[in-house]
């Protein structure tokens, strides 16, 4: 049916409606209106039936696909719990490392201090001891000097180990962003399953939250987390000089 | 530079708070208080006579940028040095922090030397002001 045919039919109905209005004839208006509605039904019903049939077919396929339910009820929530557990494990490991660094630091400090004190005493009384034993005091002197140097190196290594534990913060932020996504997926899947089962999704809880896991709300001031190569299109500034220049260019301290 | 300064370190990750605290200890700063987000930090700042604030950006509750704005909007805290220590590296975020009045901005992961240099620079400019 051409568009001109369709419009011609509606023009006729509209003319009947306008004529009834002009004549102030309610019965004629109602009759013209019913004819128009009938015309609309003739044209829209097949499309509505097709859409309804497609929707019912899709829902039937959903019901038949048990995998969706398993995903929604078990596997996606498990994935979220696994990720949260990874954050917990890395946090515990990082804290254990920090404990050991903090316990080691005073030991190495004491070792360095005592070696330095002995060297100082050796400097004061070295010649007298050298007279008693010509070999041993010289070896002891070298060993003490090495202990002072090595203690300083170990101190620097411990400081670097301390800083390296920052991976837990960065990886934790990235994993938490994935957890938020998985939670959204969990909700959508749950609602799809409920829809397929004929439940009223308006009564569903928005999210099944594990109250022990923080879920930051993502708005403009919240931040986006660490930059991940290949993710996002924003311009990243990571060089400290560039950052300082950018801060200075804005004109505040 | 006085090492008797009072620092507040704000980060939702306890590991990062310990790391920053450890580095500050190495620099000779030993009076350090911790908070896990802006909501916890702000009352501490208002009642604590802190000399320096080091804050993360991305935290649940009140994020670091909102904490910075609250500090700058409080007459008693407005001049407090605020160093943002964060993984947020987008150009527009750094500009936003600068516009909000951040004193310094360091991107994670960072080095002990960068942290020291930044703290020293902020304190020097504060002393000169």
pLDDT for A61-79, tens place per residue?
766 777 778 888 899 999 9
User: Positive or negative CA dihedral for A174, A176, A178, A180?
Assistant: negative
Residues in chain B closer than 8 A to A240 (CB atoms): 106-107, 114
Res. A160 pLDDT band, cuts 50 70 90: very high
Q: Give the pTM.
A: 0.74
pLDDT of residue A215: 45
Res. A130 pLDDT band, cuts 50 70 90: low
Tell me the sheet residues that pair with B34.
B9
Q: State whether residue B87 sits within 8 Å of chain A by CB.
A: yes
Q: State whether residue B107 sits within 8 Å of chain A by CB.
A: yes
Query: By CA distance, what is B69's nearest residue in A?
Result: A221
Cβ atoms of A205 and B60 closer than 8 Å: no
Cβ atoms of A179 and A213 closer than 8 Å: yes
What are the backbone dihedrals phi and psi of residue B96, each rounded to the nearest 5 degrees, phi first? -60, -40
Tell me if B91 and A237 make a contact (CB, 8 A cut-off).
yes
Cβ atoms of B110 and B119 closer than 8 Å: no
Asked if residue B69 has pLDDT above 50, the reply is: yes
pLDDT of residue A193: 80
User: Positive or negative CA dihedral for A169, A171, A177, A182?
Assistant: negative
Res. A161 pLDDT band, cuts 50 70 90: very high
Asked if residue A41 has pLDDT above 60, the reply is: yes
Count of other CB atoms within 10 angstroms of residue A151: 20
Res. B85 pLDDT band, cuts 50 70 90: very high
Asked if residue B91 has pLDDT above 90, the reply is: yes
- Across the interface, of B19, B103, B125, the residue whose CB is closest to A162 is B19
- Across the interface, of A173, A238, A252, the residue whose CB is closest to B89 is A238
The nearest CA of chain A is from the CA of B101 a distance in Å of: 6
Per-residue pLDDT tens digits for B18-51: 999 999 999 999 999 999 999 999 999 999 899 9
Cβ atoms of A85 and A205 closer than 8 Å: no
What residues in chain A have their Cβ under 8 A from chain B's Cβ atoms?
91, 94-95, 98, 101-102, 159, 162-163, 165-170, 172-173, 214-217, 221-227, 234-238, 240, 243-244, 246-247, 249-250, 252-253
In whole numbers, what is the pLDDT of chain B averaged over residues? 94
Where are any strands of DSSP class E within chain B?
6-10, 31-35, 52-55, 82-86, 104-107
Residues in chain B closer than 8 A to A89 (CB atoms): none
Give the Cα separation of A30 and B103 in Å (integer): 75
Nearby residues of A1 by Cβ (< 8 Å), 6 or more positions away: none
Q: For residue A107, what are the CA distances in angstroms to A28, A241, B5, B30? A: 104, 37, 27, 19
In whole numbers, what is the pLDDT of chain A averaged over residues? 83
Mutant choice from A87, A108, A177, A222 vs B, greatest count of B C-beta within 10 A:
A222
pLDDT of residue A209: 45
- Across the interface, of B64, B89, B94, the residue whose CB is closest to A247 is B94
pLDDT of residue A216: 45
């Amino acid at each position: 049916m051409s568009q001109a045919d369709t419009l011609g039919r509606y023009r006729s109905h509209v003319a009947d409606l306008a004529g009834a209005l002009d004549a102030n004839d309610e019965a004629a208006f109602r009759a013209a209106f019913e004819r128009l509605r009938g015309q609309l039904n003739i044209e829209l019903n097949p499309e509505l039936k097709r859409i309804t049939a497609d929707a019912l077919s899709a829902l039937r396929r959903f019901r038949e696909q048990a995998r969706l339910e398993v995903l929604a009820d078990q596997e996606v929530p498990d994935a979220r719990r696994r990720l949260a557990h990874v954050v917990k494990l890395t946090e515990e490991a990082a804290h254990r490392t920090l404990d050991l660094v903090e316990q080691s630091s005073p030991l190495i400090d004491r070792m360095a201090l005592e070696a330095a004190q002995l060297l100082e005493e050796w400097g004061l009384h070295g010649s007298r001891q050298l007279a008693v034993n010509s070999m041993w005091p010289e070896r002891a002197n070298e060993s003490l000097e090495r202990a002072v140097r090595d203690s300083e190196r170990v101190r620097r290594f411990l400081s670097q180990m301390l800083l390296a534990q920052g991976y837990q913060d960065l990886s934790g932020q990235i994993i938490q962003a994935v957890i938020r996504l998985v939670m959204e997926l969990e909700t959508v899947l749950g609602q799809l399953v409920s829809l397929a089962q004929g439940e009223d999704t308006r009564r569903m809880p928005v999210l099944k939250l594990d109250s022990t896991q923080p879920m930051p709300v993502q708005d403009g001031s919240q931040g986006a987390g660490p930059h991940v190569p290949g993710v996002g299109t924003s311009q990243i500034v990571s060089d400290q000089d560039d950052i300082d220049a950018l801060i200075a260019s804005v004109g505040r301290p | 530079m006085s090492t008797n300064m009072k620092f507040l370190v704000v980060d939702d990750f306890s590991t990062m708070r310990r790391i920053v605290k450890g580095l500050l200890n190495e620099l000779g700063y030993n009076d350090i208080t911790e908070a896990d987000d802006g909501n916890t930090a702000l009352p501490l700042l208002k009642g604590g006579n802190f000399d320096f604030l080091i804050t993360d950006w991305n935290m649940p509750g009140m994020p670091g940028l909102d904490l910075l704005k609250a500090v700058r909007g409080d007459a008693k805290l407005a001049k407090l040095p605020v160093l943002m220590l964060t993984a947020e590296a987008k150009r527009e975020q750094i500009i936003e922090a600068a516009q909000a009045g951040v004193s310094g901005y360091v991107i994670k992961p960072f080095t002990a030397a960068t942290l020291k240099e930044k703290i020293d620079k902020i304190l020097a400019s504060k002393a000169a002001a």
